[in-house]
Every structure is written in structure tokens, then in C-alpha cells.
Amino acid sequence: MASLNTIFIMVQPNFVVRGIESVKNNNKLKELLKLEKERNKMLGQKISKLESSIKSIEKEKVENIIKSLNATDWVNKGNNTDDNELKIENYSIAIKLDSLCIFRLKPATQSG
């Protein structure tokens, strides 16, 4: 016959309780970690959207500034010429470049 080996295990209740609580806490921590990962993903998406909108706003501002500067250059060309037809042409180009900008046109000088 085979001999049976008997193993005696002494269990301390406090040790078992702490082990069970540790497992429960780990499950809670896993759930919290999962929630935080989902939250971080959502916040990352929001940040990406905000960055995209900021880039488009900045691009629009730069384009408007360039148009405004170009328009200002054409207004200055109009101001610096004595040819009335050329003035009208230069001012018209400026208005086309930036119709929102209000230009201060110098009155035409009268000779005589």
C-alpha cells in the first residue's frame, strides 16, 4: 500500500482576512484604473479637438493679417499716386483683399 502523507496547515485568520481584503482592494483599484484610462482617453480626444481648433483659428488670423497688410500696401500705393484712375484701381484691389478693413483714405490733393 502507498503511504499517505499528511500535511498539516495552520491558518491564521488575520492573515486570511488581510489576503481577502487585499484582493478586494486590487479589484477596486483595477476598476478605478480602468475608469481613469477611459477618462484619460476622453480628455485626450478633447485636447486633440481643441488643438485642431486653435490651429485653424491661428491660421485664419495669420491669413487675415496677411490680407490686411497686403490691402494696406495697396491703399498706400493709392495714396502715393496722383493718377486718379490708378488710385481707384489700387483702392479697389485693397477692398477686394480685405473687405472688413476700414481704410482711411487721404483726400485727393487739388492743384491750382
The tens digit of pLDDT for each residue in 8-51 reads: 777 777 877 787 788 777 778 788 888 888 988 998 898 888 88
- Note the Cα 95 to chain centre separation in Å: 32
What is the per-residue burial (b if ≥16 Cβ within 10 Å, else e) of 93-108?
A: bbeebbeeeebeeeee
- Integer angstrom CA distances of residue 106 from 28, 77, 78: 75, 11, 9
pTM exceeds cut of 0.85: no
Q: Which pLDDT score is estimated for 72?
A: 83
Distances (CA, A) of 53 to 20, 39, 46, 64: 50, 21, 11, 16
- Ordered by start, the domain boundaries in the chain are 16-97
pLDDT (average), residues 81-110: 72
Which pLDDT score, from 0 to 100, does residue 112 have?
44
Whether the CB-CB separation of 105 and 79 falls below 8 Å is answered with yes
SS3 of residue 30 by DSSP: helix
